[in-house]
Amino acid sequence: MKLSVIGAGYVGLPTSVGLASKGHPVLCIDIDERKVEKINTGKCPIYEEGLSELIEEVVSKDMLEATTDTQKAVANSDVTFISVGTPMKEDGSINLEYIKQAAEDAAKGIRDKDAYHLVVVKSTVVPKTTEDEIIPILEEVSGKTAGEDFGVCMNPEFLREGTALQDFLKPDRIVIGELDRKSGEKLEKIYKDFDAPIIRTSLRTAELIKYASNSLLATKISFINEIGRLCKELEIDVYEVADGVGTDHRINRDFLDSGAGFGGSCFPKDVRALIKVMEDYGEKPRILKEIINVNEEQKTKLVEQLQKHYKDLSGKKIAVLGLSFKPGTDDIRQSPAIDIISELKKKDAEVKAYDPEAIENMKKEHPDIKYTDSYTEALENTDAGLIVTGWGEFSEITLDEIRLMKNQIILEGRKTQLRIDKSYREGLSWP
């Protein structure tokens, strides 16, 4: 089956390359011409572990080709995955602008072909979006009938940035929401070589499975961060508490790492979108709201802790180590580092920031701070260092490097394996 994928972002690109590596010829579509050119020369336009090697391979084998022409690519394929962004509006509700545009472009391609076609929504969309927004556009613009001339599925992705390819190729489960059995059957064939349970269900159930999954993962993080605050008062290690709690098979230890809060393009956006949906149905999203409230507070807890050392931060030189929302990616979307730097600037501190991959992206948010080429240079002559993203290299910081600081205070917003004496460092909610 020839496949087309609309949107070559953090979801669309691993999806395209993953499917091509499984033997499906893929046409990858993106409005960004630079991305398309890069992909067609076998280069990877985003920083994602293992993706550049595989892109080179599948492009050289003519299994993956990129284009900006959605209509033509859809007409020349059997199945189209839509994975454009569904960002957040000011009020927290979902912005469907790009996915509606993608559906319109795809429908023109379906109009231009006679054979049956399958459209697969992979972008994260709130329940009933596929039925109430996407299918009507596909029918109106193509002049064809869903369920007869073309099929529709909703196939949420669960991949994490930094491990996107591995998560795509080795998923815990594959969720297939289907308009009808024919649509579900056709999509299941594409995943036949994937070793994972397939869950066939309705379109809106598949949509909600995605939001409920992300919201429960975010709940675990806000929960352990709240417990972490009590651990700080009790002078105990929240990680030891999490180990004791997480050994219960009903709970599981994953996503119980306390720290400076969750960021990224998904958790903050998806929990807020679900809050809006529940309110639209007149339901009270109590737990969902507190997930966000606890997280917003958690993001700047590190600055509060710093102010226990320096009540007045004006003129203080502070090193911020780690800018991406998590290690292994250059993505800074909703990264706690954005809020921490804003807070430090508001208090007239002088910020020196370092990250192995995300500096160029952070310069768009905070162009007016100093960036360094190494964490050592960032620490030099500073009054304190804040570890905000858990990049492995920060565990390598030595005493000699600490001695380059004016005052040797390292505050860990992420637990690292730092091997320097406790007198030089403090954890956010661990000793």
Closest separation in Å from C-beta 65 to ligand UDX: 15
Residue span binding ligand UDX (CB under 6 A) among the ranges 10-18, 19-27, 226-234, 349-357: 10-18
- 324 vs 382, which CB is nearer to ligand UDX? 324
**351: which 2 tokens?**
């910020």
Alpha helices in 25-96 (DSSP H): 33-40, 51-60, 70-75
What's the chain's length in residues? 431
Contact residue for ligand UDX among 4, 5, 12, 338 (CB under 6 A): 12
Closest separation in Å from C-beta 21 to ligand UDX: 18
Burial (CB count within 10 angstroms: exposed 0-12, middle 13-18, buried 19+), residue 336: buried
Closest separation in Å from C-beta 223 to ligand UDX: 10
| C-alpha to C-alpha distances, 425 to 11, 211, 224, 411, nearest whole angstrom | 37, 37, 21, 6
Binding mask 21-60 for ligand UDX (x = CB under 6 A): ---------xxx--x-------------------------
- Which residues 325-354 are close enough to bind ligand UDX by CB under 6 A? 325-326
Closest separation in Å from C-beta 161 to ligand UDX: 4
Contact (Cβ atoms closer than 8 angstroms) between residue 322 and residue 389: yes
Rounded Cα distance, 176 and 120, in Å: 9
Alpha helices in 154-306 (DSSP H): 164-169, 181-190, 203-234, 238-246, 267-280, 286-299, 301-306
What are the backbone angles phi and psi of residue 150, rounded to the nearest 5°? -150, 155
> If binding is defined by CB under 6 A, does position 107 make contact with ligand UDX?
no
Residue 266 falls in the annotated catalytic set? yes
> If binding is defined by CB under 6 A, does position 430 make contact with ligand UDX?
no
Closest separation in Å from C-beta 276 to ligand UDX: 15
> If binding is defined by CB under 6 A, does position 7 make contact with ligand UDX?
yes
Strand partners for 66: 28
Contact residue for ligand UDX among 28, 102, 294, 320 (CB under 6 A): 102
Rounded Cα distance, 377 and 155, in Å: 45
Strand partners for 150: 117, 146
Contact (Cβ atoms closer than 8 angstroms) between residue 261 and residue 223: no
> If binding is defined by CB under 6 A, does position 223 make contact with ligand UDX?
no
- 337 vs 369, which CB is nearer to ligand UDX? 337
Q: Which single residue is written with the structure tokens 């979108």?
A: 273
Identity of residue 176? I
Rounded Cα distance, 137 and 124, in Å: 18
Residue span binding ligand UDX (CB under 6 A) among the ranges 16-24, 199-207, 253-261, 346-354: 253-261
Closest separation in Å from C-beta 49 to ligand UDX: 12
- Using Cβ positions, the residue closest to ligand UDX within the complex turns out to be 9
Residue span binding ligand UDX (CB under 6 A) among the ranges 130-138, 257-265, 344-352, 359-367: 257-265
Contact (Cβ atoms closer than 8 angstroms) between residue 73 and residue 36: no
Rounded Cα distance, 186 and 169, in Å: 19
**Count of residues interacting with ligand UDX (CB under 6 A):** 40
For residue 149, the tally of other CB atoms under 10 A from its CB is 18
Closest separation in Å from C-beta 266 to ligand UDX: 3
Binding mask 262-301 for ligand UDX (x = CB under 6 A): xxxxxx----------------------------------
Contact residue for ligand UDX among 4, 77, 80, 86 (CB under 6 A): 86
Contact (Cβ atoms closer than 8 angstroms) between residue 153 and residue 113: no
Rounded Cα distance, 62 and 23, in Å: 11
Q: How far is CA 93 from the centre of its chain?
A: 18
Binding mask 149-188 for ligand UDX (x = CB under 6 A): --------xxxxx---------------------------
Rounded Cα distance, 246 and 50, in Å: 30
**28: which 2 tokens?**
């990858």
- 144 vs 253, which CB is nearer to ligand UDX? 253
The residues binding ligand UDX (CB under 6 A) are 6-12, 30-32, 35, 83-86, 98, 101-102, 123-124, 157-161, 214, 217, 221, 255-257, 259, 262-267, 325-326
Active site residues: 266
